[in-house]
């Protein structure tokens, strides 16, 4: 049991018989006789719905342990993503709804940590930055200002804004969470 004031993003808890993953937490300490409050956004691990709730800071909540296991992405088919344990070769199917929008960034052979609660997969931990290839963008115009950006399509079909000097075929580094261009990828020495 932990105090509600200690809830942080990434934790798993059991509250009123339901299992939740904490997506965000914002603690506000109390003043005087008023106790503190932790405003949290929770995702129900059974239904996938999100819920916002304010907990009194002193409330005791059951924390559920999260196990991590690194698996290799094989392929996706009709809303299901298939992973394999590289040590045992055991395969695991995970619904794309558990992964969310980041499922578009899965690439064959990619190894990622998966989080499990009570033996069920609940989350995939993506790196903050990944490398992607630009498959379609307009060529830069002469005299174009450097502070203007243009639309580009990545190899997975996602569209982002990039600086004018980026051209089709360039490899870039992308912040997944914000879908933002970071910089050009360094050339691989092979």
How much of the chain exceeds pLDDT 90, in percent? 10
User: What's the pLDDT at 168?
Assistant: 87
Q: Which of 23, 10, 7 is nearest to 60 (CA)?
A: 7
Residues 6 or more apart in contact with residue 61 via CB below 8 angstroms: 1, 2, 3, 4, 7, 13, 14, 15, 55
Q: What is the pLDDT along the chain (190 residues), one digit of tens a residue?
A: 888 888 888 888 899 888 888 888 888 887 777 778 889 999 888 777 888 988 888 889 999 998 999 999 998 888 888 999 988 989 988 888 777 778 888 888 889 999 888 888 888 888 888 888 888 888 766 665 666 888 899 888 888 888 888 888 888 898 888 888 888 887 654 4
Token pair, residue 162, equals 């990039």
β-sheet bridge partners, residue 168: none
User: What's the pLDDT at 72?
Assistant: 92
User: What's the pLDDT at 144?
Assistant: 58
Set out the domains of the chain in order of their start, with CATH numbers: 2-64 (2.30.30.30), 67-124 (2.40.50.140), 129-184 (2.40.50.140)
User: What's the pLDDT at 189?
Assistant: 46
Tokens 């990622």 correspond to what residue?
112
User: What's the pLDDT at 123?
Assistant: 83
């Amino acid at each position: 049991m932990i105090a509600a004031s200690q809830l942080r993003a990434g934790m798993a808890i059991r509250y009123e018989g339901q299992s939740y993953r904490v997506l965000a937490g914002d603690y506000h300490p109390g003043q005087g006789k008023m106790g503190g409050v932790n405003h949290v956004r929770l995702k129900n691990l059974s239904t996938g719905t999100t819920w916002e709730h304010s907990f009194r800071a002193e409330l005791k909540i059951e924390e559920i342990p999260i196990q991590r296991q690194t698996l290799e992405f094989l392929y996706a088919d009709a809303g299901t993503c298939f992973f394999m344990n590289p040590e045992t070769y055991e395969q695991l199917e995970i619904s794309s709804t558990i992964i969310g929008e980041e499922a578009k960034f899965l690439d064959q052979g990619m190894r990622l940590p998966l989080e499990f609660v009570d033996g069920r997969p609940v989350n995939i931990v993506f790196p903050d930055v990944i490398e992607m290839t630009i498959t379609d963008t307009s060529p830069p115009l002469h005299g174009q200002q450097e502070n203007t950006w243009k639309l580009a399509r990545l190899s997975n079909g996602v569209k982002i804004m990039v600086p004018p000097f980026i051209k089709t075929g360039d490899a870039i580094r992308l912040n997944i969470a914000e879908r933002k261009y970071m910089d050009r990828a360094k050339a691989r020495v092979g």
